[in-house]
Structure 1
């Protein structure tokens, strides 16, 4: 996207990038692991053109839970910095995870052209009765102040009696004038259409999308608090459907976390993240050293 010279088309490419990841999800609805303070996840990608990308995520706070992540592809002049502050809310037969936080996409060869992105919320339906399923809902935004452009995306939840799953509608506008430049519609799990006047084209097609596999170090080469190694025994127990053993292994990790926290607090020591640093106002950035 950073090589696109037209600023509006460059903005459209960033919006496409944001929309391209939501169809990748596990089958069914499962309770997620609860990350512990200091937990990390690292990965890298090697692309067909010979370029690479790197990713690091870290749980920097437990109360409240805050995850921070950083993605960079130096040869492509792309960096992504984001934080996630999830909050739970129960709504009768549904549970919502409010996806607070934002993502900043930057092109290192275009100083000041930052794209600030917020996420849709996640809903688990049928937690008490009926079929359990996951939906995305509410408004997500993509905004670039330097380009004076904003995209509001409405992730639509299915109505009780009508409608369909995974609907999406949005507009790309010139923020200062409120002029609509493009309209977006479709399903985030399938095909998304972008329209300018009477001209329509496919913005993203989930069925035709290629997923570049992430490369992760073998568990025996990971650090003790890297996610796959940290939870490996719990994961193994779940794979063989041994719920008692899974509960036991989960408890071991959480007990060790509580003991570590107690020891640190008794010595009056703050938790210092490994890969990220705070400005003291709730904002985090990647450590350069």
Structure 2
């Protein structure tokens, strides 16, 4: 969707990633696997790909900031409200775990989002939920997220620092950073991490989320441990999840978790053997609506959909030469601004977050404002 923006520019907003995303990605170039292997031919295994620049041929028409925020504001069911309204600590932990699974979205093999430019923002509202992201560092790439819902009394503060490495037949991205979900009425803070992103080229091309996720709530003494699994040589079983809900003080298992994040996930009470479905991907990730511009005059110049609008427009048209020119223009402008800051001895400061870093804890991003205002880009509430 293309919306007329400030100063005659256009904001290009595309459909969110969903269960049928692979089949709907008709903008991809042909022979992608061969092209990718050719692109990586001279890269040594174990190399950090953080600063590796992809040509538009390998980009989806949206920024990493948009992919980071979409699972919060594009959903078929309001699972965050379920977290807030659950009556007991155990019910809330279970709901938070189910919500954390819902933000795991399928990606498309052979293409990746744009690397956000320094200071790029993404601001979207859905109902009372307002989500704001900012690229607070470019080298290394660090993204910060702040989301609030005053009606439901919840707040999210996330910091994400992805580190991709090339391993010959695959790329594995470890996503560093802490994710916090605060349920303010109950006074509970849930802290969690992200699974790793695995892109396989051989023997069977594909992309999966893998690794361990841990969710803890110190106020209730409850937690969850999840293991995301991709296919192996002995099993074609994809996108499976196994795990447990535990009492943190005793490490006692209260529920066993089993299923697939692209279908259904169940929990079983180890005390009485009763089982129930806590997550259904079809309900969460089908029929998602594309964000819309509500007030084009108020769309920020730093908004992802504005920064990359020309690149996205040419990718959607499959005009790779013009897409490459448009992407080069964005990158050259950023190099120019950096040189100007360096010549004046200026250090760039994020607009919406205070950031810090130490070797022990990594990056930390704290929002400057108490709550996120309503955005000019919104998602229809019935999505």
Q: Please say whether Structure 1 and Structure 2 have the same fold, judged by a TM-score greater than 0.5.
A: yes
Alignment partner of 2:282: what SS? coil
**What do the CA deviations read for 1:242-284 (whole angstroms, capped 9, x no partner)?**
1111111111001100110111121111111111112565422
1:139 equivalenced with 2:139 (yes/no): no
Gap change, CA 1:154 and 1:10, over 3 Å in 2: same
3-state secondary structure, aligned to 2:256: strand
Structure 2 CA distance, aligned partners of 1:216 and 1:144? 35
TM-score by length of 2: 0.69
Assess if the C-alpha contact under 8 Å between 2:230 and 2:238 holds in 1: yes
How many residues are matched?
Answer: 280
User: C-alpha offsets along residues 56-85 of structure 1, whole Å, 9 cap, x if unaligned?
Assistant: 000000111100001111100111110100
1:219·1:228 contact (CA, 8 Å) conserved in 2? no
What CA distance in whole angstroms lies between the structure 1 residues aligned with 2:147 and 2:117?
Answer: 21
**Is the partner of 2:151 in helix, strand or coil?**
helix
Alignment correspondent of 2:124: 43
Q: Which structure has the higher relative contact order (CA within 8 Å, separation 6+)?
A: 2
Instruction: Report whether the alignment pairs 1:267 with 2:344.
Output: yes
Inter-partner Cα distance in structure 2 for 1:100 and 1:63:
15
Which residue pairs with 1:17 in the alignment? 99
How do 1:103-114 residues align onto structure 2 when only pairs under 5 Å count? Answer: 103-111=179-187, 113-114=188-189
Cα distance change, pair 279–32 in 1 and its aligned pair in 2 (3 A): closer
Residue deviations 1:222-247, cap 9 Å, x none?
22221011101100111111111111
Q: Conserved in 1, the CA contact under 8 Å of 2:109 and 2:199?
A: no
For 2:369 and 2:282, locate their aligned partners in 1 and report how far apart those are by CA, in whole Å.
38
TM-score, normalised with respect to structure 1: 0.91
Q: Partner of 1:74 in structure 2?
A: 150
- Structure 1 residue ranges without an equivalent (≥5): 47-51
1:100 to 172, 176, 194: 176
Aligned residue in 1 for 2:301? 224
1:63 aligns with 2:144: no
**Which is richer in strand?**
1
Runs of 4+ in 1 over 3 A off after TM superposition: 24-29, 129-132, 210-216, 218-221, 279-282
CA–CA separation in structure 2 for the residues paired with 1:109 and 1:229: 37
Give the conservation status (yes or no) of the 8 Å contact 1:43–1:214: no
Structure 1 distance, partners of 2:227, 2:143, is 24
**Residues 1:189 and 2:239 are matched in the alignment:** no
Q: Is the 8 A contact 2:242 2:257 kept in 1?
A: yes
- 1:160 and 2:245 matched: no
Following the alignment from structure 2 to structure 1, what is the Cα–Cα distance between the partners of residues 311 and 186?
44
CA distance in 2, matches of 1:287, 1:174: 34
SS of equivalent residue, structure 1 residue 262: helix
- Residue by residue over 1:119-167, the C-alpha shift from the partner in whole angstroms, topping out at 9 and shown as x without a partner, is 10001111xx565321010101111111111211100121123241101
The answer to whether 1:208 aligns with 2:283 is yes
Post-superposition shift, 1:3? 2.6
Give the conservation status (yes or no) of the 8 Å contact 1:194–1:202: yes
1:273-284 matches, within 5 Å, as 273-279=350-356, 282-284=363-365
1:199 counterpart = 2:280: no
- Consecutive unaligned residues in structure 2, runs of 5 or more: 1-82, 371-383
- CA separation in 2, counterparts of 1:214 and 1:73? 21
Q: Spell out, residue by residue over 1:83-116, the C-alpha distance to the aligned partner (whole angstroms, 9 max, x if none).
A: 10000111221111111112100012233x2100
Structure 1 Cα separation of the partners of residues 192 and 224 of structure 2: 9
User: 1:213 offset after TM fit, Å?
Assistant: 4.1
Partner SS for 2:112:
coil
Alignment counterpart, residue 221 of structure 2, candidates 134, 148, 152? 148
